[in-house]
Structure 1
Amino acid sequence: MGLALSTLGRHVLVEFYGCPSEIIENNKLIEKVMNEAADYAGATIVESVFHHFNPYGVSGAVIIAESHLTIHTWPEYGYASVDIYTCGDSVSPWKAAEYLSEKLKANRTESFEVPRGMVDKIKQFAERDIKEVTVK
């Protein structure tokens, strides 16, 4: 039996400012750091896909059993945008955010958390009667 939660997921949005361009321009490094962040947070990595844009910038996703981590970088501005979405309570999105802040060497980091899958709303708008919402 799963754990009853008031939300199904946690979505942490992070803005990284003042990142060295040589870090956030490096596709292989960004993929490595994003996978390490997922692992550090306690997630189970399923796969990852990253793309380097011409002339610059990286976008990528680490798919985890508990949801995903995504990044988009703008090396020309020293800026990176990261979403960390986790379901259940076994993975800490904030641990991943802290790890990335250290590795991306941002001068400033701003972040906030958005609750996802509000259980009361799910029950309210469900097509069938849901007694308990659980995470396995």
Structure 2
Amino acid sequence: MGFALPTLGRHVLIEFYGCPSDIIENNRLIEKYMNEAADYAGATIVESVFHHFNPYGVSGAVIIAESHLTIHTWPEYGYASVDVYTCGDSVSPWKAADYLGEKLQAKKTESFEVPRGMVDKIKQYAEQDIHEVQVKPTLKGVK
């Protein structure tokens, strides 16, 4: 395991390939799965907004107290793109990603995590002196 820098957030980007078009075309079902994924990950849901495009495709966001989950679908290609961004250490973005992989029935999933809000940079560029930022360090790639 490697060294990890303290960050404010974890941003997991997921590519879902080979999803059945009847699933990722269904606006209500996508909203349900995204809200369930947030709940499964331990997040506190604030609100969700989803839109069905004509002729097809869904975009939506679940706003959580700990940040957000977003999705864009291309049913004509069997593809969905999802971002799960969480702050703090009480919510696991990887749990949400795994849950969605099951529900979207993806044949292939690719994902990676991007650390957000590097504490050292925040301190360096802040307008006032910041002596301490309350963050629990996380290890990149650890679920």
Q: How far apart are the structure 1 equivalents of 2:16 and 2:6? A: 29
Q: CA RMSD in A?
A: 0.9
SS in 2 for 1:130: coil
SS in 2 for 1:73: strand
2:128 is the counterpart of 1:128: yes
Q: Which amino acid aligns with 1:29?
A: L
Q: Which amino acid aligns with 1:109?
A: T
Q: How far apart are the structure 2 equivalents of 1:134 and 1:61? A: 27
Shift of 1:133: 1.0
Which structure dedicates a bigger proportion of its chain to strand? Answer: 1
2:12 is the counterpart of 1:12: yes
SS in 1 for 2:127: coil
Q: Which amino acid aligns with 1:18?
A: G
Q: Percent identity?
A: 89
User: CA offsets per residue over residues 31-80 of structure 1, 9 Å max, x none?
Assistant: 00000000000000000000000000000000000000000000000000
Normalising by structure 1, report the TM-score.
0.95
SS in 2 for 1:29: helix
Match of 2:140 in 1: none
2:117 is the counterpart of 1:117: yes
Q: Which amino acid aligns with 1:92?
A: S
Match of 1:44 in 2: 44
Q: How far apart are the structure 2 equivalents of 1:58 and 1:74? A: 8
Normalising by structure 2, report the TM-score.
0.90
Q: Which aligned runs of 4 or more in structure 1 are off by greater than 6 angstroms?
A: none
Shift of 1:134: 2.0
Aligned positions, number = 131
SS in 1 for 2:14: strand
2:103 is the counterpart of 1:103: yes
- Structure 2, unaligned runs of 5 or more: 136-143
Shift of 1:16: 0.1
